[in-house]
Amino acid sequence: MLRLENIIKDFGGLRVLDSLSLQVGEGLIFGLIGPNGAGKTTLFNIISGLSRPTAGRVIFNGTDITHLPPSSIAACGMGRTFQNIRIFKELSLLENVLAGMHRLFTYSPVAMLLNLPVQKREEKALREKALEILELFHLAGKAKRQAESLSYGEQRKLELARALATSPKLLLVDEPAAGMNPAETEELMGEIVQINNRGYTICLIEHDMKFVMGVCRQVAVLNFGELIALGSPQEVKCNPLVIEAYLGKEECK
């Protein structure tokens, strides 16, 4: 589904990603882990078009998206969330999700001005769908509230809901559990699996190992911009390179 070919990214003289090749298969929950500064978020930025690789190609569903702008990449079916939550704070929860559905709306400016049936129909249908998505994250009851009023963990969930609203084929999730308490994390794991069961492929960055080991089917480990391990959570966990670079000894049991 997603194929990265020899991605190189330099920031000035610093090589953050070094000839990275990786494949994410359809239907997976794919985990991307590694120490801080390993280049995980940089990789997400390259995949979603926010930053350009110095060399290499990003192939998504057979299309070369390396040089497309973010909005076109989103239109190809790529959704994402951000490490430092970027919800639309002054909009309501419902408006956040509806903004995420932007590309699912098709009515023209003329339909907007004349209140044509096509507008009413789309607005009604997608509003219902938006509430369904919010419900998935137990947020539907707060649909009319301002996004800013949510707790930190809820804001993360709202961002996930908004990304899901774009109807993505692949969902890039950057540290979904950061700042969540254990109960929230537990709940989130269930939600991630549920989203995956609905047919969305998910690629996530996460530092919470319990989370990664619990939901991911395949895990890739980055260290200083290089792929040092790839495999099932169990394989990766006991890989000596990974233990040395990132996990420490206790994790492999």
Angle between helices 152-165 and 182-197 (to 10 degrees): 10
Instruction: Compute the distance between CA of residue 98 and CA of residue 80 in angstroms, rounded to an integer.
Output: 15
Angle between helices 152-165 and 93-100 (to 10 degrees): 30
Min CB(193)–other proteins separation in Å: 24
Cβ proximity to other proteins: between 79 and 233 the closer is: 79
- Under the binding rule (CB under 8 A), the answer on residue 109 touching other proteins is yes
Residues paired with 7 in a beta bridge: 20
Q: Which of 41, 166, 218, 239 touches other proteins (CB under 8 A)?
A: 166
- Under the binding rule (CB under 8 A), the answer on residue 156 touching other proteins is no
Binding-site string for other proteins from residue 114 to residue 153, where x marks contact by CB under 8 A and - marks none: -x---x---x--------------------xxx--x----
- Under the binding rule (CB under 8 A), the answer on residue 40 touching other proteins is no
DSSP string, 127-196: HHHHHHHHHHTT-GGGTTSBGGGS-HHHHHHHHHHHHHHT--SEEEEE-TTTT--HHHHHHHHHHHHHHH
Cβ count near 69 (within 10 Å): 11
What number of H helices and E strands is found in the chain? 10, 10
Min CB(40)–other proteins separation in Å: 17
Six token digits for residue 6: 């020899």
Cβ proximity to other proteins: between 103 and 210 the closer is: 103
Cβ proximity to other proteins: between 54 and 108 the closer is: 108
Six token digits for residue 82: 């951000």
- Under the binding rule (CB under 8 A), the answer on residue 99 touching other proteins is yes
Cβ proximity to other proteins: between 122 and 226 the closer is: 122
Cβ proximity to other proteins: between 113 and 183 the closer is: 113
Cα–Cα distances in Å, from 133 out to 10, 24, 77? Answer: 38, 25, 17
Q: Which of 40, 156, 157, 162 touches other proteins (CB under 8 A)?
A: 162
Min CB(118)–other proteins separation in Å: 12
Q: Interface with other proteins by CB under 8 A: which residues?
A: 48, 50, 69-71, 74-75, 79-80, 82, 86-92, 95, 98-100, 102-103, 105, 107, 109, 112-113, 115, 119, 123, 144-146, 149, 162, 166
